[in-house]
Chain A
Amino acid sequence: MSKQPPPELSVVTANRLADGAVVFLTGEPGWTTDLQAARLLDESTELEPLLAGVRGAGLGANVVGPYAIEVGIVDGIYRPLSLRERIRVDGLTFRTIASEAVAYI
């Protein structure tokens, strides 16, 4: 069993309304598909008011279901701590069959 570092850093993530794409809240504020451009929140951020502000109309209008996820910084790069969120960022952990293929490689 691996030891998780204490939750210090997080970002807010959601899915984009129109196409379902995974997006992250930026500092502007806005939404980006690039995790590295996300606004990093530390333990001093009050998450609940922030999340309330990005649900519903305004900033929440074009996304679905914002929530906070824990990230770590590895070699200067933001990486989600949980497997689930890593999959959301990186995509499937296996290669799918290509549209014209008749054999799985």
Chain B
Amino acid sequence: MKLLKDGRLTADIWQRLADDAPIPATGAIIVPLARLEAEAPDLLRRRGPVGLVLRNSETVEAVVPHLHSLSLIVLEFPKFTDGRAYSQARLLRERHRYVGELRASGEVLPDQFLFMQRCGFDAVETCCVAAEEAWRAAHRRFSVFYQPAGDGRQTIAAFRSQSARLGLDQ
């Protein structure tokens, strides 16, 4: 399993903390929501970034009080057909303005990279052999999008109004 971040295969500095393990003083650690809620002060006090792995059955609302202290949120696709994390991602990015790393984990297929990008993911854990190329291709191969998403791509409707204002024909 490799980490693809911003389109590049990168070494993963993050460690998932075992449930019974004590919080280390340094290092980048990922904890589940229950632990974040129970041990927030200890987590904040330490030197080293804190990440959260949020189950797709847990609510984004629960994370909101802690957002300012998180540099990483991992969202899950237990099966690639389970699309709850797409909504979670959009809420985190667009509603709550989360700016840290937003990572997709689980069953992640390269043919989903575009949807993930549009929903605000900037990192994926993937086994795909040509992951960098697949991520780049997802960015490049589609030039028109109908619906607004947090990725800032201009929608077809926006483009049309712009053309109309400029008096251009489609």
Indicate if A touches B (C-beta under 8 A).
no
Write the residues of chain B forming the contact surface with A, with a CB cutoff of 8 angstroms: none
